[in-house]
Structure 1
């Protein structure tokens, strides 16, 4: 499956969260991401706080444009944590995996990718 090219489903509120089996099948498609507390998570390193803030803003613009928003935060003054989770369904959806794959592709081409 080519996750980055898959369309985002705007109607996921009427679907069930992915099963553990479905999540296990999709995880190899996003090798930079881990399952942490039921969320698809990654950490990106920046040179300093200013770089982390720039990255956070870039991620926010990207996610808003795509119409699927992550949880994001800055830790240790230079690490940007990103977690995908579909609150509308109370779990992970294929949209979360699509967005993780797209974000990894986008940032890898610019920065070198997640830690």
Structure 2
């Protein structure tokens, strides 16, 4: 099953974080993302600050719809970093990978940001 089509689990707080093997198995399914400091991370380059803010808001709305939120920041006025991590379990959950896959799929057709 494609990660992006999986449902987000609401009971993730009752699960253990993914182990190294599980993370290594899932990383190839989200090729635009990498593991940075224990978080699933991607950087998006926007045309300028206004586009970066609009993109940040788009990601925030996307996350709110699923009630699973990333860390988001703007650097150098046009670079947006997005990092998925499940604080409730102190590590990565399958939800983080599902959300990364969905965001990547949604953004492939977006013109303002490039993976």
Alignment of 1:81-100 (within 5 A): 81-100=81-100
Q: Give the TM-score normalised by the residue count of structure 2.
A: 0.97
Give the root-mean-square deviation of aligned CA atoms.
0.9
Unaligned residue ranges in structure 1 (runs of 5+):
none
Q: TM-score, normalised by structure 1?
A: 0.97
What is the number of residues matched between the two proteins? 114
* C-alpha displacement of 1:110: 1.3
Alignment of 1:16 with 2:16, yes or no, is yes
How far is the alpha carbon of 1:35 from its aligned partner? 0.1
Contact 2:38–2:92 at 8 Å: present in 1 too? yes
Cα displacement (A) at 1:113: 3.8
Which segment is superposed worse, 104-113 or 28-37?
104-113
Q: 1-side partners of 2:110 and 2:78: how far apart?
A: 17
The runs of at least 4 aligned residues of structure 1 exceeding 2 Å deviation read none
Q: How much has 1:60 moved relative to structure 2?
A: 0.2
Q: Which residue of 2 aligns with 1:110?
A: 110
> What aligned pairs does 1:1-115 form with structure 2 within 5 A after superposition?
1-111=1-111, 113-114=114-115
5+ long unaligned stretches in structure 2: none
